[in-house]
Amino acid sequence: MEPLDAQVLRQSLQWQAQGQRVLLVTVARTWGSSPRPPGSLMALREDGLTVGSVSGGCVEDDLVHRLRQGDIGLDAATDRPRLVRYGVTTEQAHRFGLPCGGTLELMLEPLSAHSRLAETLAALEQRQTVQRTLDLRSGVVTLAPGGHDAAPRWVDEHHFVSPLGPQARLLLIGAGDLSRYLAGMARGMGFDVTVCDPRPEQAQWAEPGVGFSREMPDDLVQRLRPDRRTAVVAVSHDPKLDDLALIDALQTEAFYVGAIGSRRNSATRRQRLREHFGLSEAQLDRLRGPAGLPIGSKTPAEIALSILAEVVATKNGVAAAAVLSSAPSQPSTDAVTHP
């Protein structure tokens, strides 16, 4: 499943190709609590059709209403990009469904040939990060390499920069029930998922929308070259396969590298990777094992949930300690959760 923001760009490009006028809406800044983070996208077509989201729905409805009332223009030849704010007052916050104290600042950008959506999408498909700089005086967009993790920002009063990055990617080493649940959940979260398992008994493994490779895990990792938008999780229960993937993955920019297993098995794995494969302590410190948050998992679906929760928390820059400190105390279930 393609991430929502990429869907917005692709649909906007299709609408433009059909001769429709389109407004691209970007969450520029937020104060307090907000339903969608800065950088989130929505597109509004001239007939009121929308794709994407910038709030819980009420702001989108108001934008459609303002379009139909003529308060918002979509003609890039005459209408310049501009900012609007929602939730400045308590009444507005309540009316538009924003959390208490939340304020939302939106950039409204009428799209044109100068918006460079096709080039932006092409860069994302090549797993490049892009800084999209919008000139508010002309509506012209310039593109440059940039970090996706950065928030939208202002260069000056006339230039607004929004960073965009490639789809988050999950590489699963080992097919089976756990991989099936993990793959399905991750796809729903917008991840591009590939499962790798060279074992003959898994040759028929298949899941709609999920890539499957029979390469050796180290060959796959080297071919795909995990970047800062990639997570690698070893779930095969076969050290010969898991170790091959982990050795190479821990030497890449992957934002998350994990493996299932009990605490005892995880400690043995670290020792093995250190003594026999020469991984440094810094590299081993990146290895999450046992993978997953301690939520009392007992079934493959629950274990998948615990692993994906930790992957998403890491992707979003939330430390495991912060996640655990906000959760109720639970008994250790490592032996059950990660056989």
pLDDT (tens digit, 9 = 90+) per residue, 111-126?
999 999 999 999 998 8
Specify the pLDDT at position 293: 94
Maximum CA pair distance of the chain?
A: 70
Give the count of alpha carbons within 13 A of 230, CB side only: 18
Is the pLDDT confidence value at 175 over 60? yes
Specify the pLDDT at position 87: 75
Q: Read off the pLDDT of each residue in 243-263 and give the average, rounded to a whole number.
A: 94
Range in 25-34, 190-199, 227-236 with the lowest mean pLDDT: 25-34
Specify the pLDDT at position 335: 34
Q: What is the dihedral of CA 176, 178, 184, 187, to 10 degrees?
A: -100
What confidence tens digit (pLDDT) does each residue in 204-240 have? 898 999 999 999 999 999 999 999 999 999 999 898 9
Backbone angles phi, psi at 201, to 5 degrees: -70, -15
Confidence of residue 89 (pLDDT cuts 50, 70, 90): low
In the block, residue with structure tokens 């390469």:
215
More confident residue, 331 or 90: 90
- Nearest alpha carbon to residue 196 among 181, 210, 177: 210
338: CB partners within 8 A, 6+ apart: 260, 261, 262, 265, 290, 291, 292, 303
Confidence of residue 154 (pLDDT cuts 50, 70, 90): very high
Distance between CA atoms of residues 312 and 326, nearest Å: 16
Is the pLDDT confidence value at 322 over 60? no
Specify the pLDDT at position 108: 96
Is the pLDDT confidence value at 286 over 70? yes
Helical ranges in 149-299 per DSSP H:
177-188, 217-224, 239-249, 263-277, 281-284
Asked whether the whole model's pTM tops 0.75, one would answer yes
Distance between CA atoms of residues 150 and 162, nearest Å: 8
